[in-house]
Structure 1
Amino acid sequence: MGLFGRRRRQDDADEDFEDAESYEDDDEYEVIGGDLFDGAGPWDEEDAPEDGLNRIDLGSVRLPVPEGAQLQVEMDPAGPVKAVHVVLPVGQLTVTAYAAPRSGGLWREVSTELAEQLRADGATVRSTTGEWGLELLAALGDMSLRFVGVDGPRWMLRGVVAGPPDRLDNSAAALYELVRGTIVVRGTQPMPVRTPLPIELPPAIAEHIQQAQEDGPA
């Protein structure tokens, strides 16, 4: 199997968005890329490199958590883990893997729906063509959001960073770095398309959360 995420561009990506414009015309945007992207991930489990990079194992994804980052666990009221957020001074980063068709192309569908939903919520949305293809940049209140997506073998990986507008370039670099080093563990179990792949917490974190829930509010 080949690598996924290596400089795959979609020249017509902007056509899906009526108010799309290139970031190259934005004075606050700086292209972040170059040789760092060559041979980078995200990786399918079967293609995962032996690079010695420390990653936190969350079951469906293995994330290279940056030094000094904090982890925030978002629990579903029903019990399962909904998301694990990586919090840095530049913003909050979230990487989620979904079941996808073998034919790929799920990110393009999802990004169109995501842009429509963001606009319905009052956000200004723009699109660009980045290192993995289509990216979205949204402005909502005093927060800027950047979304990237990668279609892999029977999975799709979505990454998002939310942070202050004056940290736009730094938050983009942090998101790219996290996505580049992520390993996706799809598994063999059949799952409906768009189903989030399950997140499993490391035992130490799970025990800490369980203890906090048992202790209740201070």
Structure 2
Amino acid sequence: MQIASAMSRHISRGVGPLEVQEIIGFLAGADPSPSTAGGPRKTILLRGIVEMLSALVEERGLTDPDVDEFLALAEEGCYEVARNDGGIDAARRGLDIGPWYAGEPFVPADEYLDLGALWIPSREGIQIEPMSSDSTSGCADVTLVLDGTALQLQVFRRTEDSTWRAVRHDLLRKIRASHSRASETLGLAGIEIEANQAVTMQDGSSTFMRVRFLGCDGPGWFLRGVVTGTGAEPESLEQWPYEVFLNTVVQPVPPGGGSDTIPLHPPVVP
């Protein structure tokens, strides 16, 4: 295959010829070989795809159709790797990427606002909407607002039905059943859902609202983020909702109560 031979001339020493062949085979739809199936293969695959894409820039012997074909396969391959992983790499979460769990050794040294079950990074200009609570259940969620974009955060006890994979499936089903559009996409926090949801206004009229759903599984917990406003638009380049989501620290999960939702309290500075 011309693409494979071209890539092997330009790939770095970190990815050997056999791995190049495996990557090409994976992108073409082949099953992984028994000797490389499992966790290590996933790491090699993602790095290898990036290096092979870079090599395309240097390779003059490929025709435009070859390049287009490979880019299409690479895009689908990266999407499948992230999909199979359920979003954020579980092996990396807590090491070099968040959301974090209290007590993990690599939690960034940052200024946080204490909401009880969640500590959220303090960022200049971000406003927290008033949080209402009662003496029994506390606050169910918190909403942060900046420049027309809102991020709602909510943390749950993790169960078989509250993993990010299960929640995505349920959200897609419910949104589509309401005659709204929704799809899975790759974002800065892994797999997310982009939706154009039908909503009813206070005057009874109907309109559509753009929404992005983020999620991450942790040890005993599941963190969900909901982005609305200008940051949820398809052309938006807003990064602060992702930065806050990925740097949020989940505190030790209290014993289970009558709800999977872990209550929060109004913010205090630790």
- TM tier, smaller: 0.5 to 0.7
* Partner amino acid, structure 1, of 2:110: L
Alpha-carbon shift at residue 96 of structure 1 (Å)? 1.2
Return closer, same or farther for 1:202/1:175 CA change in 2, 3 Å cut-off: closer
Deviations 1:33-73, CA, capped at 9 Å, x for gaps: xxxxx812110112164633111111111111321111113
Query: Are 2:126 and 1:73 aligned?
Result: no
When you count helix as a share of all residues, which structure comes out higher?
A: 2
How far off its partner does 1:124 sit?
A: 1.1
The 1:131–1:68 alpha-carbon spacing in structure 2 relative to 1, beyond 3 Å, is: closer
- % same residue: 27
Aligned residue in 2 for 1:11: 80
Letter of the aligned partner of 1:170 in structure 2?
Answer: L
Counterpart for residue 170 of structure 1: 237
Task: Provide, for residues 108-152 of structure 1, a one-character-per-residue CA deviation record: whole Å limited to 9, x for no partner.
Answer: 111111122222333210112345542100113453211111111
Whether the 8 Å CA contact 1:104–1:154 is kept in 2: the answer is no
1:109 alignment partner in structure 2: 166
Q: Specify which structure has the bigger relative contact order, considering alpha-carbon pairs within 8 angstroms and separated by 6 or more residues.
A: 1
Partner amino acid, structure 1, of 2:125? G
Tell me, in whole angstroms, the C-alpha distance in 1 between the residues paired with 2:81 and 2:107. Answer: 35
Q: What one-letter code is carried by the residue in structure 2 that aligns with 1:136?
A: I
Q: 1:95 to 1:168 in 2, by over 3 A?
A: farther
> How far apart, in 1, do the equivalents of 2:124 and 2:234 lie?
18
Where does residue 207 of structure 1 map in the other structure?
none
TM-score, normalised to structure 1, is 0.66
Find the counterpart in structure 2 of residue 43 from structure 1.
Answer: 100
Corresponding residue to 2:264 among 180, 199, 217: 199
Which has the greater radius of gyration? 2
User: What RMSD over aligned residues (CA atoms) do the two structures have, in Å?
Assistant: 3.4
The answer to which of 114-123 and 179-188 deviates more is 114-123
- Match of 1:47, SS? coil
1:159 aligned residue = 225
Rounded to whole Å, the distance in 2 between the matches of 1:79 and 1:157 is 18
Contact 1:99 1:191 in 2 (8 A): no
Q: Quick one: structure 1 residues 97 and 166, their matched pair in 2 at CA, closer, same or farther if it must change by over 3 Å?
A: closer
Q: 1:10 to 1:60 in 2, by over 3 A?
A: farther
Instruction: Say how many residue pairs are matched.
Output: 173
Q: Which residue of 2 aligns with 1:21?
A: none
Letter in 2 for 1:11: E
State yes or no: 1:186 paired with 2:218.
no
Corresponding position: 1:126 with 2:210: no
1:72-107 CA distance string (max 9 Å, x none): 134368863232110011411011111014x89711
Q: TM-score, normalised by structure 2?
A: 0.54
Q: Which moved more, 1:128-137 or 1:83-92?
A: 128-137
Determine the C-alpha separation between the residues in 2 that align with 1:191 and 1:100: 13
- Residues in 1 aligned to 2:212 and 2:240: alpha-carbon distance in whole angstroms: 11
Q: Which amino acid aligns with 1:196?
A: T
User: Cα 1:59–1:123, aligned 2, differ >3 Å: closer, same or farther?
Assistant: same
> Are residue 59 (structure 1) and residue 116 (structure 2) matched?
yes
Asked if 2 retains the 8 angstrom alpha-carbon contact of 1:104 and 1:153, the reply is: no
Structure 2 unpaired stretches of 5+:
1-45, 47-77, 85-94, 198-206
Inter-partner Cα distance in structure 1 for 2:180 and 2:81: 23
